[in-house]
Amino acid sequence: MALSRKLLMTGESVIETTRTHVKVLFVPLVVFLAGSFAGGFLAAQAGNAGDGWVRWVVVAIAAVLVIWFAVIPFVRWLLWTYTLTNKRIVEQKGILTREGRVIPLSRVNDVSFEKNLNDRILRCGTLVVHTASEEQGLLLRDIPGIEDFHRTVSTLVYDSHQPRDDQI
């Protein structure tokens, strides 16, 4: 879910929209597969015991567990986006209640990235954005293609700090 056009300022354009790396969905995928398999297996084993209500209880428990530990994390991942425009960085997240954070590029003092061994293998990392008003920077975790994203953000920050011809 990219940044809506109605949220863009005059003269602003979207450069890139990204989500966290899909590696965060590994555990929900395992839970989905295990819950589905276990629920189906146990429902088949229950058969028609208790006029079939035991089977429906097993299916209901499996469905609740799969929804809670697999479907909701997937929807949360799907709706959590980072959008880079030519004027700002926008973080949006939330399923029912949306919240966001906006950092104007002209306020950014430092942009760096961090990668551990797993991140290097999966080609992702954490982007750290520091502004003058913050002690601790904004962490954009598990950004895929972190080097390219870092380069793009750094270029836009540099350009935003350069005086335009009409300001000289």
pLDDT digits (tens, 9 = 90+) for 25-71: 999 999 999 999 999 999 888 877 767 788 889 999 999 999 999 99
Residue 98 amino acid letter: R
Give yes or no for a contact between 126 and 144, defined as CB atoms under 8 angstroms apart. no
Helices (H) and strands (E) in the chain, counts: 5, 7
Distances (CA, A) of 53 to 21, 40, 43, 58: 41, 14, 10, 9
Say what the pTM is.
0.83
- 88-136 confidence digits (pLDDT tens): 999 999 999 989 888 899 889 899 999 999 999 999 999 999 987 766 7
Which pairs from 114-119 meet CB under 8 Å and 24+ separation?
Answer: 115/146, 118/23, 119/146
CATH of domain 5-19+85-162: 2.30.29.30
